[in-house]
Amino acid sequence: MTSGTLLKSLLDIAGLSQKSFADSIFTSPSKLSKLINGNILLSQKEASNFSEQAARILANKIYEPNCCFKLKDLFPFIIDFSSRNELYEFLLTAFSYTIILDLETADESLSDRTIRNLHYSGTKPCKYMFCIICSDYLTRERLSEYEFFTSLPRYSDKYIECFDHIMPLIPTGKFKISMQQFFYLQRKPAAGFRYRDGFARRIFQEEEYSDLYFWQLDFESSNHFFMLKNQFILLFNEYVGGTPQVTLIRNRAQLNHYTAFVESAMQKASRRSFCQENVADFLNHKADRDEEVRNKMRVISQLAHVRDSTEFPDPLQFFNSILKDGAAFYITSDALADFLFSRSISGQLLKIEDLSPVNRIKHVRNFYKYLDQHKNKQINIIDSHIFSVVIICQGSNSLICLINIPRNNLKYHILQTQSIADEMAEWAKLSAVDSFQFIKTLMRQIRDQ
């Protein structure tokens, strides 16, 4: 991203002509055109004045509630701006960043081994730069795959404020993104430790645009990294007093060093996320501290091996296994509706060929009868367009199972129970779905069709 391409894109979003913008910053249209086309560079003084003027004018034109959606093609990672001033600050930071990139490009003495690091401090600048840098690299020349690796505790603890209000507005399937998230599950939470609100929802959201995997590993350093392989590293740490700082690293030698470090860490890490293709070894592992959640995964995994509707499990047997030891079961409303009204789940994921609506109704009716007979409050339907099942166990670990139809994949995430249990109970409460009536209505609707 150059300052010229950034300005041109923002002018288009704001509906401003180059002439009217040039007049508003007291420059000539020809000079502005040269700036947009990269034919001139601004001096340090000019750059500061230009950035402030441009950010102010464009923020005034663009800002309105939910204006982040106007900017999604330019900034796939964006802030849910709460004010015109916040948008101004964000655009000012973006212009300052792109002007630095322009100067680096013009400096023939620089190479990928001599390029300097950039430093930012404070909650807002760190938040802004995370969005700007990630968006910059996503909107450059398209890569075949974007491989992200991070030890940054984005879901909990001290960096919660840095990631509040960040909205990934990335269309499903636009980029091939993988996200390897390292964190330390064995640590006892320190005093004041907290999980980010909506942990499960964040995972649902992230899985829509990326292939997310959690890995258990202890990083002794107080620094945390966020790396796009072979492209950049964001190194996060804290000043005395807790002020966050982020350093952007693009130097080739440092990138190679971190890549080697991550590859070594991957060899030592314990996988906490699985897809159907790599879950067999975990399911066949001897009993250990994960046995409770492993048993739940075995029950769900067996569904993916069903090839004929006659092999579909009996609801009594299925739920007795799932709810054993006081577990709670949550399924999303749209997953149930899709099973009845579409063949996405039955045909693509479960591999059941030609499962007729009559047979789909039969299997859901068995679920309905089970609910009617047992009146089990451990079974909940939550409102979400994501196809997912969540099982909250009584032990230390619980399970999120995501059904990804576009990738034709069943994904499992093993997470600490305390990180999602309260959220799921509250989600069910807010959804206020009467499971019995919901399924009854679905069956009536499909019969009417």
pLDDT in tens, 55-100: 999 999 999 999 999 999 999 999 999 999 999 999 999 999 999 9
Q: Write the pLDDT tens digit of every residue in 185-221.
A: 444 445 444 555 688 998 998 998 999 999 998 665 6
Average pLDDT over residues 382-409: 87
Q: What is the pLDDT of residue 196?
A: 57
Q: What is the pLDDT of residue 444?
A: 79
Give Rg (Cα) of the chain: 25
Q: What is the pLDDT of residue 185?
A: 45
Q: Write the pLDDT tens digit of every residue in 29-58.
A: 999 999 999 888 887 778 899 999 999 999
Q: What is the pLDDT of residue 247?
A: 95
Cβ atoms < 10 Å from Cβ of 28: 11
Of 229, 198, 199, give the one whose Cα is nearest residue 214: 199
pLDDT at 288 over 90: no
Q: Write the pLDDT tens digit of every residue in 93-132.
A: 999 999 999 999 998 888 888 999 999 999 899 999 999 9
The answer to whether the beta carbons of residues 123 and 161 sit under 8 Å apart is yes
Question: Which of 169-183, 204-218, 300-314 shows the lowest mean pLDDT across its residues?
Answer: 300-314
Residue 156 backbone phi and psi in degrees, to 5: -160, 170
Tokens for 379, please give them. Answer: 């079974």
Q: What is the pLDDT of residue 46?
A: 86
pLDDT at 349 over 90: no
pLDDT at 151 over 70: yes
| Torsion, CA 40, CA 43, CA 44, CA 47, rounded to 10 | -50
Position with higher pLDDT, 309 vs 393: 393
Record the pTM: 0.88
Q: Cite the DSSP H helix spans in 107-229.
A: 123-139, 160-163, 199-209
Question: Which of 66-75, 307-316, 432-441 shows the lowest mean pLDDT across its residues?
Answer: 307-316
Q: What is the pLDDT of residue 58?
A: 97
Q: At what angle do helices 333-341 and 435-448 cross, to 10 degrees?
A: 20
- Confidence band (pLDDT; 50, 70, 90) for 360? low
- So where are the chain's domains? 1-110, 111-187+198-271, 273-448
Q: What is the pLDDT of residue 311?
A: 64
Architecture of domain 1-110: Orthogonal Bundle (1.10)
Average pLDDT over residues 136-149: 91
Position with higher pLDDT, 249 vs 448: 249
Summary mean pLDDT of the chain: 86
Average pLDDT over residues 262-284: 90
Is 230 strand, coil or helix?
coil
Q: What is the pLDDT of residue 161?
A: 72
Q: 111-187+198-271 maps to which CATH number?
A: 3.30.870.10
Q: Write the pLDDT tens digit of every residue in 398-414.
A: 999 998 756 667 899 99
Q: Cite the DSSP H helix spans in 323-356.
A: 333-341
- Percentage above 70 pLDDT, the chain: 86
Separation CA 121–CA 76 (nearest Å): 22
Burial of 267 (0-12, 13-18, 19+ CB in 10 A): exposed
Q: What is the pLDDT of residue 156?
A: 64
